[in-house]
Each structure stands twice: as structure tokens, then as C-alpha cells.
Amino acid sequence: MSAPELLSDTALAVFRLNGQFLAVAERLARPAGLTATWWQVLGAVLREPLPVAGIARVMGITRQSVQRVADLLVERGLATYEPNPAHRRAKLLAPTDEGRAAVERIAPGHAEFAARLDEALGGEEGFAEVRDALERLSKALDTLAVPER
């Protein structure tokens, strides 16, 4: 198989995986009153508050998309904007106690699904191999620039 065919097949597999992961995340997040996207954004700031641009970089999506979700989370009392000592205008997003509790409600379903996926992949070693391959692909893509036409 040629490199262009491998690239196309790989891209299609990743797009399919993305859809599958989003569907799983939606099912896991729904009982906690969250969407998959809300869960992703809250998850990005559980350890430390981050500016919207920082969350977007971690998630690999646009700042505008994260801004819309962040504003909704703040509006619903799941997150708050805090002053950013490093930048006057770029506030930090932080989860509220209610936001942390919502994410914690997902934990049992997340753990159960992770255990099932671990088993389907042949245990921790197989699961780690899949993760490592995806990280290797992501790092390789980070190093390559798509030529401008």
C-alpha cells in the first residue's frame, strides 16, 4: 500500500475513532448533566485554572469554541473566571465545587468503560501500545507542516 493510501486510511480511522470517543463521552457525561465538550473543558482545568487559549491548545480546537463552552459553564455555575496574574485580560477558567462534583459523578462509568476497553485490547500492555501509537502519530503530525498551495 502506498504512503498516500496509508495516510487516507489512517485519517479515516482517526475520524471514526473521534466519533466513537465522542459518542462514548456523551453517554458517560449525560447522567452528570454534562455534554462531552463540557466535560472536556472542565477536565482541562481540574488540576489548575487555565486561560481559554491554553485550554484550546491542550484540546487541539479553536479558542472561540472553548470560549463559547467556557461561557456556558460559567453561566450554569459549573466554572468561574478568575483573575490571571500573568495577563490582565485573559482570565483563568476554574471549576466550581458544582463543576468538580459533576465530573466526579462520571468517574464510576468512566472506570467501568475503561476496564472493558482494557480487556478488549488485551490488558494494560495492549492498551498502552495503542496509546503509544496514537501519541507517536500525533507527535509526527506536530513536526510536519502541510505545504501551502
- Assess whether pLDDT exceeds 90 at residue 86: no
The band of 149, judged by pLDDT with boundaries at 50, 70 and 90, is: low
Q: What is the pTM of this model?
A: 0.83
Averaged pLDDT for residues 118-135: 97
Averaged pLDDT for residues 98-122: 97
Report the distance separating Cα 17 and Cα 76, nearest Å.
30
Residue 60's pLDDT is 82
Q: What is the pLDDT of residues 18-54, one digit of tens each?
A: 999 999 999 999 999 999 999 999 999 999 999 999 9
- Assess whether pLDDT exceeds 90 at residue 90: no
- In terms of phi and psi (left: phi > 0; alpha: psi -120 to 50; beta: otherwise), the region of 124 is alpha
Least confident of 22-31, 51-60, 99-108, 139-148: 139-148
Residue 87's pLDDT is 78
Cα 134–Cα 26–Cα 45 angle in degrees, nearest 5: 70
